[in-house]
Structure formats: C-alpha cells, structure tokens
C-alpha cells in the first residue's frame, strides 16, 4: 500500500482557475512540441519531405540535441498533473500514484482500486484471473 497524495479543490472558482492553468500549460507544451518537430524535420528531411541520407556531423549533433529535448518533454508530459494518465481528462482532482509515478484522477483511481479488491476476492476463491496486471491495480489499493 503506497503513500498517496491527493489534490482536491472544492471551490468551483479555484477549479476553473486550475483547469485554465492546465490548458495553458498543455498548449505551451504542444507549441514547443510542434516547433521541435519542425526543427527536426528541417534537418532530417529534404524539401520534398524525404529522409536525408547525407547529414553531416554538426547536423547530427543538433538532431540528437533536439531529440533529447523531445524525449524529456515526453517524460514531463507523462508525469504531468495536467491530466489523468488513464482517461486523459484535464478537469479532475488528481491522486499521485507513487508506484507508477503518474497522476490519476480520483474516479479512475477508485475504479482501479475497486477492481483490485474484486480480483483479490476472486483470487481467494481460487478463480482464474487470466491476463490481470496485478502490479498496476495493486498500486491503487
């Protein structure tokens, strides 16, 4: 049973501000993502959009630098509190799952926790659980 951090806002005004801030952050990251993609394409593709075969050393270094930023941005997005890692909604109260290092909305977290306990009961009855991702569901218990 992991420690959990839940962030709940009850005031609708604060919820609106939170949701707007999340939207601004998501939009800013999308803009950076688009800029990165076009910078990467400017180096790696020719004017007709075909992959270039003759990239020189300095271009190769720059390409790697841009791809590193892209990777970090994906990591940042995956771990963001801006949206639930399961349902991707941005207007929810979130719970941090320490095991998975991701934020999930309260509704998804409760659903996964309930599923875990249902599966535990089935397991105790000796039922076959099939392709059940226990590690994932247990992290919500």
Interacting residue ranges for Zn ion, rule: CB under 5 A: 84, 86-87, 105, 108
- As a whole number of Å, the end-to-end CA separation of the chain is 6
Nearest-approach distance from CB 140 to Zn ion, in angstroms: 11
Nearest-approach distance from CB 82 to Zn ion, in angstroms: 12
Contact call for residues 36 and 69 (beta carbons, < 8 A)? yes
**SS3 state at 37:** helix
Q: Which is nearer to Zn ion, 17 or 87 (CB)?
A: 87
Nearest-approach distance from CB 95 to Zn ion, in angstroms: 10
Q: Which is nearer to Zn ion, 70 or 77 (CB)?
A: 77
**SS3 state at 126:** coil
């Amino acid at each position: 049973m992991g420690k959990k951090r839940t962030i709940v806002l009850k005031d609708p005004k604060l919820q609106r501000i939170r949701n707007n801030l999340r939207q601004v952050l998501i939009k800013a990251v999308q803009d950076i993502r688009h800029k990165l993609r076009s910078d990467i394409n400017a180096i790696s593709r020719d004017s007709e959009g075909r992959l270039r075969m003759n990239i020189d050393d300095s271009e190769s270094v720059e390409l790697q630098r841009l791809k590193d930023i892209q990777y970090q941005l994906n990591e940042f997005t995956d771990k963001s509190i801006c949206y639930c890692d399961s349902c991707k909604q941005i207007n929810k109260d979130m719970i941090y799952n320490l095991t998975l290092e991701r934020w999930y909305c309260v509704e998804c977290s409760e659903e996964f926790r309930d599923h875990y306990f249902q599966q535990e009961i089935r397991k105790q009855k000796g039922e076959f659980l099939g392709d059940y991702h226990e590690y994932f569901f247990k992290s919500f218990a």
